[in-house]
Structure 1
Amino acid sequence: MPHSKTSARRRGSCAGVLLASVTTLFSLGALHAAPAVAAPAPSEQTHATADVYAAVQPQSKARVTAAVLSLDGGSRKPLLYGEDALYDTASIIKVDILAALLLQAQDAGRHLTAHERALAEPMIRNSDNAATSTLWREIGQAPGLEAANKRLGLTSTKGGPDTKWGLTRTTASDRIRLLLSVFDSAATSKTGSPLNKESRAYIQTLMSRIASDQAWGVSAASGAEYALKNGWLQRTTTGLWDVNSVGRVTVDGHHYLVAVLSDGSASMSDGISLVERAARQAVTAAART
């Protein structure tokens, strides 16, 4: 389903829903400050990576990492812009939760039940937190998530404690690995994603039909065609914001998987601006390589 990218409408329509969702996230427990991670020196990066890194890094406590993978190329290693450090996932973990649920259903030789679909769809399309908490329990919380992630090829994602799914920790590279398991059209049961064709199509469909108030983030790098999931939360200890966005974008007929993770923004709008700027510049740089 195509979406409009009108910035003013996007910011205005999402404000109330975003803040309501953050209030729900507060009930997940106190948030912990992320460890400080030094940024890589420009000399350690390619010229394109260094240019993008310098352009998107904020002059504040905020930090950002972008990862981009072209689905049209032969490589399955993403280009990284910034340090591939750990960040809290907030609501981008909902794609991971759905993937785990689908894997468990596949293992049991069944489809999702009507009840599971009634939870999965608002979890992805509307970022419904209550539905997420129910499915988090169903997959077995962090142990269930991590068992699925091992099969999906993720190496650096640690499930949140107890009911606190929003405090799952991950890297931009791991988000690309998850997206690849969902969107790689060349995936086969032998060499690719453990998710079968039907499961991949289901996740793709939901991420392509995000509610209009959720249509921001990596979609800023695209035209009218994209599929995404965003995440956001405000730390109770500092008042600073984590803002993340992951998905597939199409630019000039070419398809890219994009993951942008950030934390330390002074406001929700600052975080969105940072993520969108990083997405646009990272995709533009990747297209030139």
Structure 2
Amino acid sequence: MESPGARRRVFASLSCLAVLAAGTAVGAAYATDPPRSGIRAVAGAREEASVEPVVRPATVDRQALLEKAVAAVAVPEGARVSVAVLDLASGERAGYRDGLSFDTASIVKVDILAALLLRAQDTGRSLSAAERAYATAMIERSDNASASALWRAVGRAPGLRAANERLGLAATVGGDGMLWGLTRTTAADQLTLLSQVFGEDSALSAASRAYVRGLMGRIAEGQRWGVSAAADGSTAWALKNGWLPRSTTGLWDVNSVGRVTAGGREYVVAVLSDGNGTQAAGVSLVETVAKAAVGVFGGAEAS
């Protein structure tokens, strides 16, 4: 028969074993069931790891592509060419030697009309019947007598300069006296003017912009060349061309400015050239460069 002391020792040993077993059970439960915050952290890490990285398209260097494209054009010896192009929707632009100065020849007629419209806006009036007749002949048929009449009406070179300050043209200088065709400009300035006509942020009112656009979309049949060569279709353009044989050299200034639609997008384009042996050679050069410039925007990403 066990003594009372022996029974107490057995009871104490059993109590210790129970405590150890309970502790082990608690410890095992803790090890296999981490805190809820830990679960969330692990789940979040797994979710982040499962998200595929965003691949951003590489930026297309339109400027470099344009310079390469125009440099590949066979420019006749002694001739110069400059171009600037703007995607109206994206605002992306590029230029090739677009800071060089050229004679405007008849492309200045768009600038003359813009100056006339600003003067009319300032006084809150519409163009008179005579002004409208002059403007139509000046733009659609490139009539020089009409241009001379409106050149006087806007105040000749000083009036053109005042208008251009408002339009944002910084490098265009009006010709002396009545020599509006010898106004000097750059492709960059012409792109600014085209943006004023075909864009929405403009010193010209919506009605004035629509008026100029309409005239530039109705150019006489024999003058539908130049930047229009870059357009999709025979009506996807609005333009004004200029051509002038220089009496001192016999060489031709040939310029073209306007808006074209190509590949479902609208561009404004200005191409200026001089030193051309013939008018036909200048037209060919301007058209080739216009197509190269618009092609850089329409086909660069696909290529």
Scaled by the length of structure 2, what TM-score is found?
0.76
Indicate whether 1:114 and 2:129 are aligned.
yes
Give the match for residue 73 of structure 2: 56
Alignment of 1:273 onto 2:290:
no
Select which of 196, 199, 214 maps to 1:181.
196
> How many angstroms apart in 1 are the aligned matches of 2:296 and 2:167?
27
Q: Distance between the aligned counterparts of 2:190 and 2:70, measured in 1?
A: 19
Shift of 1:233: 0.2
Q: In the superposition, relative to structure 1, how do residues 244 and 74 fare at CA in structure 2: closer, same or farther (>3 Å)?
A: closer
- Contact 2:63 2:95 (C-alpha < 8 Å) held by counterparts: no
Q: 1:253 aligns with which of 244, 264, 268?
A: 264
Which amino acid is the alignment partner of residue 223 of structure 1? D
CA RMSD of aligned residues (A): 1.3
Structure with the greater alpha carbon radius of gyration: 2
Alpha-carbon displacement from aligned partner over 1:132-168 (angstroms, at most 9, x marks no partner):
0000001000000010000001110000000000000
Distance 1:216 1:90 in 2: 15
Name which structure has the greater RCO, CA cutoff 8 Å, separation 6+.
1
Amino acid at match of 2:99: D
Q: Which moved more, 1:78-87 or 1:207-216?
A: 78-87
Aligned to 2:163: 148
Q: Percent identity of the aligned residues?
A: 56
Superposition TM-score, scaled by structure 1 size: 0.80
Q: What's the secondary structure of 1:56's corresponding residue?
A: coil
Correspondence 1:213 to 2:222:
yes
Number of residue equivalences: 237
Ranges of 4+ aligned residues in structure 1 off by more than 3 Å: none
Letter in 2 for 1:124: I
Q: Deviations over 1:212-260 (max 9, x none)?
A: 1110000000022100000000010000000000000000210000000
Q: 5+ residue gaps in structure 1?
A: 1-44
How many angstroms does 1:71 deviate by? 0.6
- Residue in structure 2 matched with residue 98 of structure 1 by the alignment: 113
Query: Matched residues in 1 for 2:64 and 2:205: separation?
Result: 39
SS at match of 2:164: helix
Aligned pair 1:67/2:76, yes or no? no
Aligned to 2:95: 80
* Cα distance in 2, alignment partners of residues 267 and 126 from structure 1: 21
Residues of 2 paired with 1:50 and 1:178: CA distance?
A: 22
- Maintained 8 Å contact 2:106/2:243: yes
Aligned with 1:133 (options 144, 148, 157): 148
Whether the 8 Å CA contact 2:98–2:186 is kept in 1: the answer is no
| Selected match of 2:178 from 159, 163, 176 | 163
* Residue 11 (structure 1) aligns with: none
Whole-angstrom CA distance in 2 between matches of 1:197 and 1:59: 41
Given residue 264 of structure 2, which amino acid in structure 1 is its aligned partner? G
Q: Which of the two has greater helix per residue? A: 2
For residues 82 and 74 of structure 2, the distance between their equivalents in structure 1, rounded to whole angstroms, comes to: 9
Distance change (3 Å), C-alpha of 1:62 and 1:116: same
1:35-50 paired onto structure 2 within 5 Å: 46-50=63-67
Query: How far 1:117 moved relative to its partner?
Result: 0.3
Alignment CA distance shift 1:46-1:94 (3 Å) = closer
Q: Which amino acid aligns with 2:82?
A: T
Q: Match for 1:123 among 125, 138, 154? A: 138
**1:52/1:81 contact within 8 Å kept:** no
Following superposition, the deviation at residue 57 of structure 1 comes to 4.8
Q: Matched residues in 1 for 2:99 and 2:117: separation?
A: 28
Letter in 2 for 1:268: Q
Q: Distance in 2 between matches of 1:63 and 1:47?
A: 19
Instruction: Return the alpha-carbon distance in structure 2 between the equivalents of residues 85 and 57 of structure 1.
Output: 19
- Paired with 1:168 and 1:193, the residues of 2 have a C-alpha distance of 23
CA distance in 1, matches of 2:71, 2:98: 12
Name the CA distance, whole Å, in 1 between partners of 2:91 and 2:69: 23
